[in-house]
Amino acid sequence: MTELLTAAAIHKRYGGITALSRADFSARAGEVHALLGENGAGKSTFIQILAGAVRPDGGAVTLGGIPYRPRNPQEAQQSGISPVFQELSLVPDLTVEENIWFRREPLSAVRTVRARAMREATLALFARHHFPAIRPDQELRRLTLAERQVIEIAKALSRDPKVLILDEATSALGPQETEWLLGLARGLADAGSLVIYISHRLGEVRQIADRITVFRNGATVAAYETKSVDDETIIADMLGRRMDRLYPELKATSTGKVALGLRDFGVDHRLSDIDLDLREGEVLGVAGMQGHGQRELFQALFGIGSARGRVEVWGKPKTIRGPRQALTGRDGLALVPEDRRNHGLLLSKSVRENLTLSVIQRFTRFGITDPKREGALVDEMIATLKIKAGTPEQPAGTLSGGNQQKVIFGKMLLTEARILLLYDPTRGIDVGTKGEIFQLMRDLAAKGYAILFYSSDLAELVHVADRVAVLRNGRLAAMLEGEANTEHQILRAAMIETRAA
């Protein structure tokens, strides 16, 4: 097979930061080609160049054997390259179908004719690729993050691309949608397209990719056939070192004392009758299919949305009417939220400001901030989490996706809260840092923190949590512990109605 897309010696700098120093890449039609690398390795920059969103400083790209230099995203799309980016670009006020066909609406002077043509095209697209059920006339703002991700994929597919680029596209999806997307990518490749697949989940890459290219610090360090290489080698190429293990040793450190008690807890019709104890020193996992109440649980505990029932924090009733109240004092709760773009970070503010924004009073006396103390804590956090930023003053919006997620994690650690609500905290984070975050979670538990931990990756729940609460239809379907805490049992409890004998 001949190469469809090649790139040689691509480089790109942003001021003093080198995003790509020497990226080489070569991929064929009819394959799924994974692009792997640590957070900040340059993957997104590379695909933004392919997508016409960023101009390289040097190097050469060819598509179908001829030089390819898109000047803007429209030119890239006309050449058959369609990206699905990590951070979504859809318009919240428009409907699903208006988003998919944005600026490409069917031509007709008659509004009803246009609307009918658009509806038919949307339904045909959904049917052809077996899309999950989403109504074309829904306003986008009413959709969950996972559904919005699915619509972003629909938009890319609506152009019948020769090259489909999926950048962390499964990170916001639940297990069922992930399976669907993997199947879809395979189908497109089998039908002759090239699918470039970026993911921090090696399991998915193994399942789907024919070949793998690895970037490290902006340069290509390896390229191989998936079946000829083992995980350890891939990880060592990504990190530049061997990694002993991903998951920490699971030692129970619970003191039995209840840190967070929920009684008859619920949120409108989406979450009901939740009775749950999160203990000091434990990591309590939460699992569930998309839309079964886990988001509502985390948001309500952080004071977003209206909850009913009783909440007890360290033995005392607590009313949480808003994030400020949730966070306050040593009996506070801190959250790593799902949607980092909208709720986690101020993108134009620096890494330092984001880290310390909600805890600035800790370095402030009589209205004056002590920059030395602030700087020391910020430097320590950047080092602990290995946040890849040029300086602490770099705007958060210019960090790579995974590094933005680390800033959110650091921001939470700097609060004094000892109850941590972690909603998919490793989303978009590379395998090396993931291992460190899991270890950090266990260390925090050993120090007496209480951690509620949702992950869309079931293996993480099995390996990092002491117990796993499984939600189904907004209710607690099972509490799995010890031998019973397996991926199979979690899926079973999340999907299948268990009847009393």
Ligand X SMILES: Nc1ncnc2c1ncn2[C@@H]1O[C@H](COP(=O)(O)OP(=O)(O)OP(=O)(O)O)[C@@H](O)[C@H]1O
> Contact positions toward ligand X, by CB under 6 A?
14, 17, 19, 37, 39-45, 388, 398-403, 430
CB of 285 to ligand X, least distance (A): 24
Looking at beta carbons only, is 24 or 312 nearer to ligand X?
A: 24
Looking at beta carbons only, is 255 or 391 nearer to ligand X?
A: 391
CB of 152 to ligand X, least distance (A): 16
Q: Token pair of 171, please?
A: 């990170």
**Beta 467-472 vs 283-287: how paired, if at all?**
parallel
DSSP 3-state assignment of 422?
A: strand
Please report where in the chains the tokens 């074309």 appear, as a residue.
Answer: 136
Query: Which residues are CB-contacts of 25 (< 8 A; sequence separation ≥ 6)?
Result: 5, 6, 7, 10, 35, 46, 213, 220
Q: Token pair of 7, please?
A: 């790139």
CB of 42 to ligand X, least distance (A): 4
CB of 58 to ligand X, least distance (A): 16
Looking at beta carbons only, is 54 or 229 nearer to ligand X?
A: 54
CA distance 41 to 354: 22
Q: Phi then psi for 387, rounded to 5 degrees?
A: -75, 125
Looking at beta carbons only, is 70 or 281 nearer to ligand X?
A: 70
C-beta nearest to ligand X: residue: 402
Looking at beta carbons only, is 323 or 401 nearer to ligand X?
A: 401
455, 429 Cβ separation under 8 angstroms: no
Looking at beta carbons only, is 43 or 292 nearer to ligand X?
A: 43
CB of 430 to ligand X, least distance (A): 6
CA distance 118 to 120: 5
CA distance 53 to 309: 49
Produce one character per residue of 365-381: b if its CB has 16 or more CB atoms within 10 Å, e if not: eeeeeeeeebeebbeeb
Looking at beta carbons only, is 198 or 301 nearer to ligand X?
A: 198
Q: Where are the beta strands (DSSP E) in 314-465?
A: 316-317, 333-336, 364-365, 368-369, 419-423, 450-454
CA angle 300, 451, 314 (to 5 degrees): 75
CB of 107 to ligand X, least distance (A): 36
Q: Phi then psi for 461, rounded to 5 degrees?
A: -65, -40
CB of 202 to ligand X, least distance (A): 14
Looking at beta carbons only, is 14 or 379 nearer to ligand X?
A: 14
CB of 121 to ligand X, least distance (A): 32
